[in-house]
Amino acid sequence: MTSANTTAPSASPHRQDGENYRLSLPNTARSAGIARHFVASLLTGTPHSGIVDDARLCVTEVVANAHRHTRTSLIRVHVAVGPEQVTVSVADDAPWTAPPAGGVRTGPAQERGRGLFLLEALALAWGSDVCGCCAPSHKAVWFTLSGDARTAA
């Protein structure tokens, strides 16, 4: 497994104490909206209510990127709701279309990658994992949010 982090990683982006939820979506234009509502419904009315808007923005961006930039038939969303943090991972079957390892690209002519500024600005940590060892089968782009993510950065 290969990982590229653009901010300091949390203890473990994929394993947390708490509850785990999964959603599988077809790769359609509606998938980002469905994922957005799914994540919001998990966090609303919980101690994580304060990060619902950030979670909605970030999951929308990551799912929309999977839809726009891959031909995967299925987009998988995994949400780990821990006592202090929430980690969302979005997986698709295109292992070699991960975000750039050096961070977010900048510049006025840069048409792509601007949505990753959301992850950089809002998440405590984010990154991408290419999974499958010698024969990569998929990638996951993940982000971790906490109530004090903005003050920690």
Q: Whole-model pTM? A: 0.77
What is the predicted pLDDT for the residue at 57? 95
Q: State the Cα–Cα distance between residues 26 and 61, nearest whole angstrom.
A: 16
What is the predicted pLDDT for the residue at 26? 96
CATH T-level fold of 2-96+116-152:
Heat Shock Protein 90 (3.30.565)
What is the predicted pLDDT for the residue at 123? 95
Instruction: Give how far Cα 144 sits from Cα of 73, 74, 80, 120, 141, Å.
Output: 25, 22, 9, 11, 11
- Walk along the chain (153 residues) in steps of 10 and give the mean pLDDT of each run: 37 65 96 98 95 97 92 94 95 68 49 75 90 66 79 43
Cβ atoms of residues 124 and 7 within 8 Å: yes
What is the predicted pLDDT for the residue at 18? 85
The ranges assigned to domains in the chain are: 2-96+116-152
What is the predicted pLDDT for the residue at 100? 52
What is the predicted pLDDT for the residue at 53? 97
